Chain A
Amino acid sequence: MCGATEGGLSLDGVNVAKEAVIQGQVTRDGEAVGSAYVRLLDRTGEFTAEVPTSATGHFRFFAGEGQWTLRTLAPKADPVDTPVKAAVGSVAEVAVAL
């Protein structure tokens, strides 16, 4: 993979009006990380969901309204926590740098 792809994940096929989307990309030194795991933790810190990143380092969640935390795990890296706010009808784009 030669450098991270600029821009967000395509929303084709997603009914954004009905979903509170949280999505983004994991990078390390500007390069996409396709072997990371991103966990979605709720407002109390409880696990809600987890996805592996795509080959381009992208991930997506369909959350609910409110405050969430993304916890990113990857080989040879400490976990990174990133707070994010989600709202139905909008897309929260998050960049996670390891």
Chain B
Amino acid sequence: MSRESALVSAQWVEDHLETDGVVVVEVDEDTTSYDKGHLRGAIKLDWTTDLQDQVRRDFVNKEQFEALLSERGIANDDTVVLYGGNNNWFAAYAYWYFTLYGHQSVKLMDGGRKKWELDSRELTDAVPTRERTSYTAQEQDHSIRAFRDETVAAIGVKNLIDVRSPDEYAGRLLAPAHLPQEQAQRAGHVPTSLNVPWSKNCNDDGTFKSDEDLTALYAGVGLDDTKETIALCRIGERSSLTWFVLKELLGHQSVKNYDGSWTEYGSLVGVPVALGDEPGSADQVRA
């Protein structure tokens, strides 16, 4: 995987809005954004209802994912182009999700909805209809998904990249600052995790920085790319964006997204937590 195969520009998408076999999909944190206007021909996936199990805290299972994509008219051989608001947080999450279930051709639109809007490109409120398909998903690829026990075991052993803002990492905020701060769990971060805010991957207009800049960013914080890496944030969507950078743009071999992230880790009983701006020590685990 590389920048050329995983990422497309807004201009490329505009040029392919009517191309057979290309399905443009909007996924937003604000699930009403699509309804206020979207790319012509784009369909919507709602991350809260379409991509999350409505009872357990987990993803929809393979059969549910197959039913969803079949109903929305996405075929196995379609090229799925994802875009969304908030600098593609949830579009990157959907990219990782499609990859988890083995979709062959999936791409992210560089800059997402913000870049498209700042370019003053066309938005429409016309909702397309697509013929139903018979989609077949693969079993989840757990080589890109980390769970909590693996994350605890990774302290002081693997690269842990916490992509939240510095104030969330340090424990001064519990959630991104556009959301209310009331949460049940503890504040702080996984000891030994490095804080590389997702925003350092991006330019102000939401497009990704160059491969050279990204390589320098992670080298500069001391990420050892010979080790496995686990990315985490609060609920696993911002860390999907960093997973995309490390795995898809920079081609690191073993990168996982911990989708349970801080909302799970920060609620666990007995696990070590570090406060403040420093990564903290693995000694807390063994004490």
In the complex, A73 has a CB within 8 A of chain B: yes
Q: Which of A15, A51, A63, A76 has the most CB of B within 10 A?
A: A51
- 0/1 interface trace, chain B 84-96, chain A, CB 8 Å (1 if under): 0111000000000
Whether the pair A64, B204 counts as a contact (CB closer than 8 A) is: no
Q: Which of B5-19 contact A (CB under 8 A)?
A: none
Given A42-B167, A44-B166, do A50 and B205 touch, yes or no (CB 8 Å)?
no
Residue in A closest to B164 when the chains form the complex, CB atoms: A48
Is there an interface contact between B178 and A75, defined as CB atoms closer than 8 Å?
A: no
B204 touches A79 (CB 8 A): yes
Q: Are A63 and B177 in contact (CB under 8 A)?
A: yes
In angstroms, Cα B169 to Cα A46, docked, is: 13
Residue of A nearest to B177 (CB): A49
Q: Report whether B117 and A35 are in contact in the complex, using a CB–CB cutoff of 8 Å.
A: yes
A71 interface residue, CB < 8 Å from B?
A: yes
| Interface contact B165-A47, CB-CB below 8 Å | yes
Kindly supply a per-residue 1/0 record for chain B positions 129-173, scoring 1 wherever the CB is within 8 Å of any chain A CB and 0 otherwise: 000000000000000000000000000000000000111000011
**Residues on the A chain within 8 Å of B177, using CB:** 40, 48-49, 61-64
B254 interfacial contact with A, CB 8 Å: no
- A15: chain B residues within 8 A (beta carbon): 180, 182
Residues in chain B near residue A39, CB distance under 8 A: 204
Contact of B167 (CB < 8 Å), options: A18, A35, A64, A71: A64
Q: Supply 5 A–B pairs (Cβ within 8 Å), ascending by A.
A: A44-B166, A48-B165, A49-B178, A50-B178, A75-B120
B residues contacting A by CB (< 8 A) are: 30, 33, 85-87, 114, 117-120, 165-167, 172-173, 175-182, 197, 199-200, 204-205
Q: Can you name 8 extra interface pairs (CB under 8 A) apart from A48-B167, A49-B178?
A: A15-B180, A19-B181, A37-B118, A42-B166, A64-B172, A64-B173, A73-B114, A75-B119
